[in-house]
Amino acid sequence: MAKKDPLACDLLWADPDKDAKSFEPNKIRAISYIFGPNQVDEFCKNNNIDLIIRAHQVVEYGYAFFADRRLITVFSASRYQAELANYAAVVVVSKHLELSFTQLKPEEFEQARDREDNRRGEAEKEQTTANLDK
């Protein structure tokens, strides 16, 4: 469906990227585009909206803000990637348009975080040792 309908494709697969200066091909997904904060701001102004809430992209703590909090990514599947052991989150919008978030932390989160910290520490030790050998 997405390939037949470019709008549906971009609504599903376009991703925010803090380094994007314009709409650029999404090389990671090999479909749709990436966009930067300026594109979010322009879209919100052109459509007279204050906030975009999107999904379909894993974020470590279940939700993440982008573009001066004008865009929120919410991801509701915890432990989507085993090595990351990401949180899940849900956003609730009240009738007064106030947002509240609930995060669900996977049991393995601390263990995965410790493994990642250990991996980084070993890589830093190897780099330091390599620099000392020069």
What residue type is 20 in one-letter code? A
Contact 53, 91 (CB under 8 A): yes
Out of 31-45, 71-85, 117-131, the most confident range is 31-45
The verdict on 66 and 132 lying in the same domain is: yes
The verdict on 22 and 77 lying in the same domain is: no
The verdict on 36 and 99 lying in the same domain is: no
Q: How confident is the model at residue 115 (pLDDT cuts 50, 70, 90)?
A: confident
Average pLDDT of every residue of the chain:
88
pLDDT (tens digit, 9 = 90+) per residue, 60-72? 999 999 999 999 9
The verdict on 40 and 57 lying in the same domain is: no
Show Cβ contacts of residue 23 under 8 Å, excluding neighbours closer than 6 positions. Answer: 14, 33, 34, 35, 39
pLDDT top residue among 122 and 90: 90
What residue type is 89 in one-letter code? A
Q: How confident is the model at residue 120 (pLDDT cuts 50, 70, 90)?
A: confident
The pLDDT of residue 85 is 84
Residue 104: CB atoms within 10 Å: 14
- Cα–Cα distance measured from residue 73 to residue 68, given in angstroms and rounded to the nearest whole number: 13
pLDDT (tens digit, 9 = 90+) per residue, 4-35? 899 999 999 999 999 999 999 999 999 999 99
Show Cβ contacts of residue 111 under 8 Å, excluding neighbours closer than 6 positions. Answer: 85
Q: How many structural domains is the chain composed of?
A: 2
Domain boundary among 49, 70, 88: 49
The verdict on 64 and 104 lying in the same domain is: yes
State the residue range of the domain holding 33: 1-49
